[in-house]
Structure 1
């Protein structure tokens, strides 16, 4: 049995502010240590349920170089660095039986929700078939496209609710209650880890009863971008058109895999600043 654990940072217990998630800020080292510890809790839970499991861990925040390799559970395989196939889900290109999302956050515009955003500050919204999806929905549907169920998500209560609407039978662990974009009531980190370990074991045990999230194609996709110059770059991609004013682009995709990859490309284009 192979499990992929995708680990973000904003949804880790105790994390509430960008200084804790940005490598250039003073509190980042504490944030990445907390992130590594929660990853280890999820890894331990998988092995509690399946002692012979193969566990891959995808560092899925920002640079994809946040987890401390020397402090990660030695039984796991760490995927770090970018660019790489499937981004936050790197590792799903090999047969995988279950995915777990640790430290995830709610989509842009959700609230109250700690550090809510969708992929980057350049993206205001992503709509697939008219439905707004953040990182939780996009990644869960990409996993589903590859027939992999996402069996667990941890984060704040808003992230858990967002995931619960998409995959009601999956396991969620709310490690903090959001009070706003940069405030929360958090569990003690050790308590969060203990709950996460138990939940990961439970989720792996029940993986056969948790279906993959399927969004069938063809798909109409719209992406709202922060700046008009980002739209100017996006429409250079064949098949991407400007719609609804100065900030929205649209395209059609044959299936969710194609949609996911093109959305990822648009995010990278949106990071280019005008010279």
Structure 2
């Protein structure tokens, strides 16, 4: 069997502040080490349940170059760098049997929730058929579009709640209890890793009972952007129109995969600053 583990950083135990997730800040190296250790715990749990499993680990935070390659479990195939197909889910294909989200965070506007956002600070909200989705929902539905269930999520308690609303039968591990955007009560890193290892093995054992998250097309999509100049760039994309004032754009996607790709493109366009 093949398992894809998508590893973000904001939902790792012990991480509560942007200085721990930003390569230009002083505490980033500690954040990288904590992130890599939690990824290793999940790899070990998958191998406990299925010793012959093929495990792919997608670095899914920021630059996609955060996991420490030399410290990552040697049994894993490490997906690193960007741009790349499917972004946070690089490595997902029709041969994948299960996906796991490690270190994930709640969507923009959720709260209290540690370091909540949706792909970029430029994105205020993403709505598909009127339903607000963050990275958890968007990535789970993208996996579901390929017919693959997301069987495990770890992060703060807000992230776990958000995921359970989408996939109630999946396994979650709350490695910290949120107190706010940059504060939480966290498990000791070793305790978090032990729980993750057990949960990963449990999720693999239960994978047949956890359904993929399906969102059938066509889909009407709305994206709220932080700045009006971002909207000016977004409407240059064919099919994307301005709606509801100065910060919202909309488009219709034939299926979820198309919606996911356009949202990814809008995130990149939003990073362009006016000259």
Which structure 2 segments of 5+ residues have no match? none
- Residues of 2 paired with 1:168 and 1:56: CA distance? 25
**Which residues of 2 match residues 1-275 of structure 1 at below 5 A?**
1-93=1-93, 95-275=95-275
**Displaced runs of 4+ in structure 1, greater than 4 A?**
none
Query: What is the number of equivalent residue pairs in this alignment?
Result: 275
- Residues of 1 paired with 2:242 and 2:235: CA distance? 7
Query: Contact between 2:4 and 2:98, CA under 8 Å: does it hold in 1?
Result: yes
* 1:194-248 CA distance string (max 9 Å, x none): 0000000000011000000001110000000000000000000000000000000
- Residues of 2 paired with 1:181 and 1:266: CA distance? 24
Q: TM-score, normalised by structure 1?
A: 1.00
Local SS of the residue matching 2:114? coil
Which structure 1 segments of 5+ residues have no match? none
- Residues of 1 paired with 2:42 and 2:199: CA distance? 8
Query: Contact between 2:94 and 2:146, CA under 8 Å: does it hold in 1?
Result: no
Q: TM-score, normalised by structure 2?
A: 1.00
- Residues of 2 paired with 1:93 and 1:26: CA distance? 37
Aligned-pair RMSD on alpha carbons? 0.4
Q: CA deviation at 1:94?
A: 5.1
Q: CA deviation at 1:93?
A: 3.0
* 1:42-63 CA distance string (max 9 Å, x none): 0000000000000000000000
